[in-house]
Amino acid sequence: MAHEDGTVRVAMITGGGSGVGAAAARLFAARGWNVAINYRSKAAEAEQVAGDCREHGVEALTLQGDVADDGHCRRMAAATAERFGRIDALVCSAGATQFTRLSDLDAQNAEDFQRVFAVNALGPYQMARAAAPWLTAGGRGAIVNISSVAAKNGNGTSLAYIASKGALNSLTLALARLLAPEVRVNAVLPGMIDTGWFDDALTEEALATIKGNFMKASALGVVSTAEDIARGAVFLAVDATTTTGQLITIDAGYTLGRAVRISN
């Protein structure tokens, strides 16, 4: 499916085998974009997402690679450009954490921080750098980083995760300045998302308790889905043509909080 100017645009998505990345790939495809789907270890899942995208009549490419490795980032960007001839949008959705008690300051060491930062902060930088020649070539490229409200409220799965998302927010602002006017750069800050993120770390009972507490504290009283977050990311990449350097919170009103009811 071609756009109004006759071109078929291309979105490159990291962490596209599951969660927000997978949802974003499907949404781009539904809007007629070709997609390049990066995965690190979930090959079968990524191929399933690619198959879903192809049902919309677009082309889909899967790319194995670790965003923490600069060589992988450069290879994946080059492979996407070689296949499609362009890159119009980059969504950095690959993420990592280490589940710890925030009250335990000894739960993480320097190596733990470096591993999490390598994916959550260094990875988006390396992907932006690798894709920049093609993003800038068309004069209307877009980067959307998937960050977290953890960077705003200091609450998350680990101190390394919280700090890495703060770094990603700062990186988003810096890249928005440096790559303007050819490329817009924004970030989406989700709250809790109903995905498999916690499956290996929490029991079903513990997860249900956390979800319940989140909903009680949120103005909208719900937990976001991967599609909720992906819609925000695709909006920033495609429709928000004069928006750059923005950190957009999509958390069902968690950071806003519930209204205080005062009765006479």
Q: Please report, in tens digits, the pLDDT of each residue of the chain (264 residues total).
A: 455 567 899 999 999 999 999 999 999 999 999 999 999 998 999 999 999 999 999 999 999 999 999 999 999 999 999 999 999 999 999 998 776 677 767 767 889 889 999 999 999 999 999 999 999 998 999 999 999 998 988 777 678 899 999 999 999 999 999 999 999 999 999 988 887 656 665 667 777 877 888 788 899 999 999 999 999 999 999 999 999 999 999 999 999 888 767 665
Residue 219 lies in a domain: no
Residue 261 lies in a domain: no
The domain in which residue 38 lies consists of 10-195+225-250
Q: Which residues contact 110 (CB under 8 A, 6 or more apart)?
A: none
Compute the distance between CA of residue 146 and CA of residue 92 in angstroms, rounded to an integer.
6
Residue 63 lies in a domain: yes
DSSP state of 203: -
Distances, alpha carbon 181 to alpha carbons 14, 16, 81, 114, 176, in Å: 24, 27, 21, 32, 9
Residue 94 lies in a domain: yes
Q: Give the total number of structural domains in the chain.
A: 1
pTM as predicted: 0.92
Residue 187 lies in a domain: yes
Residue 48 lies in a domain: yes
Q: What is the CATH number of the domain that holds 98?
A: 3.40.50.720
Known catalytic residues are: 161
Q: pLDDT tens digit string along 132-171?
A: 999 999 899 999 999 999 898 877 767 889 999 999 999 9
Residue 212 lies in a domain: no
Residue 79 lies in a domain: yes
